[in-house]
Amino acid sequence: MEQTIIHHMETVRGITEQTIKKIPEEISDIIPKGFNNNIRWNFGHIAFVQEKLVFGLLGEEMSIPKNYEQFFAAGTKPAEWEGTPPSFAELAVILTEQKARIKDFIIKGRLHEKLPNPFTNRGGITFYTVGEAFLFSFYHEALHIETIKRLYRSISSK
């Protein structure tokens, strides 16, 4: 089963990696009418949330830069950023390296580990194990990839 989960994660993240390569960075900070965030925020948010769901909730060290939380945590928005957000090149590296770290983590059989404290996300879903949180992250990542595609279409149509 773990190999199936790894394959699925690689498929989902592969779509994310291909998407970041296709979008010109120069449009990544535009926020079209009707949207709260931009393309850069969505890619960073995917990386931050995945890191939190797999490593952070367990109390493991998160291997992404510390400032990702202030830029990309739920509830943040580019209009409130202080400092320079990461480039697409940095985000692409983070997303790829994260995939490899998560694969190593899963191979060690840690999906069934109970979280020190159950975690309830903003949607009201409570996770009790690493595996529950990790499997939800596929859905989360796909939602944000769809948002990125909608942002891109909206920006490109103008």
Where along the chain do its domains lie? 2-156
The pair of structure tokens assigned to 84 is 């320079």
pLDDT of residue 111: 87
Rounded Cα distance, 51 and 47, in Å: 6
pTM metric for this prediction: 0.94
Tell which CATH classification among 1.10.10.60, 1.20.120.450, 2.60.40.10, 1.10.275.30 matches the domain 2-156: 1.20.120.450
The per-residue pLDDT for 81 is 94
Which residues of the chain, if any, have pLDDT below 50? none
Report the pLDDT value the prediction gives residue 52, as an integer from 0 to 100: 94
Place of tokens 């089963």: 1
For the CA atoms of 125, 65, 45, 139, the dihedral, rounded to the nearest 10 degrees, stands at -50
